[in-house]
Structure 1
Amino acid sequence: MWFKHLHLYHIHDMKLLSPEQTAVALSEHAAKPLGNADARRIGWTAPAGRLSGGQLLHTLKNDGHRLISALRQERMLPAAVVAEEVADQIAEIEANEGRKVTRKEKTALKEQVTEELLPRAFVRSQKIDLWWDTERQLIGVNTSSRSRAEDALDLLRETLGSLKVTPLSTQTLPIRAMTTWLGDPASRPADLQIGDSVVLKAKGDDGVLRGRQVDLDCDEMQQLLESGRQASQMAMAIEGQLSFIMHDDLALKSLRFGDALIEEADHADDGDDALARLETDFVLMAGSLRDSVARLIEWLGGENQQEPAAKEASND
């Protein structure tokens, strides 16, 4: 269950429900199988899987960490398949009735074909894990897509009745910090290690340059920075904790936890118990994420106190 990606959000002015109250709320919005007419659906699922007894919430009471998982299901009905079937039906109508099908009829045919084909479409399921640090008022969503992260937060908002969050923002913009660290090794924090991949963005319309498995301290890289390019993505590591690619929106992707943490998890005596395995992994992962995010925020000058308007909704 080790996270691969992380979109970070700050929680504002929230009255925290107890674990028991939260578990009840989650159960009321648990994932259900897609109905024949449903194109997509999202609900809560057990983070540890089917063998965990259906437990929807995992908490580390002494540390304030919570773990929940959303299951997003979507029927895969390619537009080309619908278009082909609609075209066949239009051709048949025009041949049999000797007339052109109107635009209104075409729209109705498309809706009808979609409704008929949808129950036979394949279902794609995606599990989206959320790490909730109740002490630091942070939520981290394990998905590569910002829109998928927002889907999970919308579900949490509906579940809790109200949730006010904004994407985590720092005093120093990530693109500015990454560019500075890349161009000036002396400016790098002591525990920061530069990786071997970067995306450089030009200020004008000159596109982007991507470098992989390259020496980021080479002379050519310095020349590109001197020409005005900025680092919009960069591989880095926090020594002994976590390596990742930081994006200019503060998304952390391609997470890789320290070898010592993974070895400690592998050596834990949890047998074939899926729940015990998840609890072990979560303890180690949550601690590493809290420390790593706190350190990263510090390197970026602390949180931005002038947050943009937070998204909020209520079921009241």
Structure 2
Amino acid sequence: MWFKNLLLYRLHGAPELDCATLEDALTEHAAAPLGNADARRLGWTAPAGRAGGGQFVHEIQGHRLLSVLRQERLLPASVVKEEVDERVADIEQAEGRKVTRKEKTAFKEEITEDLLPRAFIRRQKTDLWWDTRQGLIGINVGSRARADDILDLLRETLGSLKVTPLAAQTLPIRAMTTWLTDPASRPADMILGDQVELKAKGDDGVLRARQVDLDGDDIQQLLEGGRQASQLALGVEGRLGFVLTDDLTLKSLRFGDALIEEADHADDGDDALARLETDFILMAQALSEDAVRLLEWLGGEAQSGNANEHGHFSDTP
């Protein structure tokens, strides 16, 4: 249940749906088995599985938990290429001619269509947190492309969804670099970790360091040489640890011992659904508070025009 990564999005004019209406909408777009010709499919699934009686949305104190099931057929390109090469070789030998590029493309499509129904299926469940009070959506993925797929499914489910990646007044790469070079600039409630990724302005590549003293001479010399921090391990008062990236993604989330102990000591009567909901509300409250805190560290949230349904900003006259 506890998120490992977090991509945050700001909702704009979010639809006001009660839990029952949202449940019905999610049910209409529930995950279904892949058809023989389907390469992949996304659909909603019950966060608690059978323990939750097939319930698609759990809402506690304004925090909603949804889950997406991604089904994807695994058909390696190398397998298709091998089949294409074999068919091309057979034709060239039998007919004494070169196979054209157009023919090879047609072979590839035919072979893919033939092999796809027999390919293994990988299933991945991804949780989505919706903070209705703050108008935030957080997705437990580390990839913008995967998050976009999930937001597209939510948009299709709701009929409309105006959302943009959460953005701050100060660019994370600038703030992280400043925090490293100027300890006095660090917020009082910030804990500096021991992991960093430094980018060079030119073509000198990326330097990654773990379990290092970020205030040590080695790191400081690299910063003096013009490198900038594109990822940085940080903590919030011992409650939450994470790696902040230059696009405001939070990776490698680590929740504080006190929070985990509170969840462990909760009286759930060994009820799997009660345990999931307890873990979720404790996590959601922590993420909600710390999302606000992170924006404060970065000078507040950026306000740059209006968002359209596809998640981009458009200028207003």
Q: Give, as a single letter, the amino acid of the residue that structure 2 aligns with 1:42.
A: L
2:138 aligned to which of 137, 140, 158: 140
Aligned to 2:103, what secondary structure does the other structure show?
helix
Q: Give, as a single letter, the amino acid of the residue that structure 2 aligns with 1:132.
A: W
Q: Give, as a single letter, the amino acid of the residue that structure 1 aligns with 2:243.
A: I
1:60-75 counterparts in 2 under 5 A?
60=60, 63-75=61-73
Change (3 A) 1:214 1:132: same
State the distance in 2 between where 1:261 and 1:29 align: 34
Deviation for aligned residue 1:101: 2.4
Report the counterpart of residue 299 of structure 2 in structure 1.
301
The answer to whether 1:7 aligns with 2:11 is no
Q: Is the 8 A contact 2:65 2:128 kept in 1?
A: yes
Aligned to 2:137, what secondary structure does the other structure show?
strand
Aligned to 2:72, what secondary structure does the other structure show?
strand
Q: CA RMSD in A?
A: 1.4
Report the counterpart of residue 170 of structure 1 in structure 2.
168
Q: Give, as a single letter, the amino acid of the residue that structure 2 aligns with 1:11.
A: L
Report the counterpart of residue 196 of structure 1 in structure 2.
194
The TM-score normalised by the length of structure 1 is 0.95
Deviation for aligned residue 1:273: 2.4
Q: Give, as a single letter, the amino acid of the residue that structure 2 aligns with 1:261.
A: L
Report the counterpart of residue 34 of structure 2 in structure 1.
34
Q: Is the 8 A contact 1:196 1:215 kept in 2?
A: yes
State the distance in 2 between where 1:56 and 1:164 align: 22
Deviation for aligned residue 1:309: 4.3
Q: Give, as a single letter, the amino acid of the residue that structure 2 aligns with 1:29.
A: H
Deviation for aligned residue 1:93: 2.3
Q: Is the 8 A contact 1:71 1:127 kept in 2?
A: yes
State the distance in 1 between where 2:249 and 2:196 align: 14
State the distance in 2 between where 1:181 and 1:141 align: 27
2:248 aligned to which of 247, 250, 256: 250
Q: Give, as a single letter, the amino acid of the residue that structure 2 aligns with 1:30.
A: A
Q: Is the 8 A contact 1:166 1:307 kept in 2?
A: no
Deviation for aligned residue 1:207: 1.3
Report the counterpart of residue 17 of structure 1 in structure 2.
17
Q: Is the 8 A contact 1:169 1:307 kept in 2?
A: no
Segments of 4+ in structure 1 off by > 6 A?
none
Deviation for aligned residue 1:307: 4.6
Q: Which runs of 5+ in 2 are unaligned?
A: 312-317
Q: Give, as a single letter, the amino acid of the residue that structure 2 aligns with 1:103.
A: R
1:181-260 counterparts in 2 under 5 A?
181-260=179-258
Aligned to 2:3, what secondary structure does the other structure show?
coil
CA offset digits 1:181-233 (Å, max 9, x no partner): 11111111111000000011111222111111000011222222121111110
Q: Is the 8 A contact 2:242 2:252 kept in 1?
A: yes
State the distance in 2 between where 1:95 and 1:283 align: 66
State the distance in 2 between where 1:192 and 1:69 align: 31
Q: Is the 8 A contact 2:160 2:309 kept in 1?
A: no
CA offset digits 1:231-258 (Å, max 9, x no partner): 1100000013210000000000000011
Q: Is the 8 A contact 2:196 2:232 kept in 1?
A: yes
State the distance in 2 between where 1:202 and 1:308 align: 33
The TM-score normalised by the length of structure 2 is 0.95
1:261-300 counterparts in 2 under 5 A?
261-300=259-298
Deviation for aligned residue 1:89: 1.5
Change (3 A) 1:103 1:288: same
Q: Is the 8 A contact 1:166 1:308 kept in 2?
A: no
Deviation for aligned residue 1:311: 3.7
Identity of aligned residues (%): 70
Aligned to 1:249, what secondary structure does the other structure show?
coil
The answer to whether 1:48 aligns with 2:48 is yes
State the distance in 1 between where 2:52 and 2:197 align: 41
State the distance in 1 between where 2:264 and 2:118 align: 41
Report the counterpart of residue 107 of structure 2 in structure 1.
109
Q: Give, as a single letter, the amino acid of the residue that structure 2 aligns with 1:183.
A: T
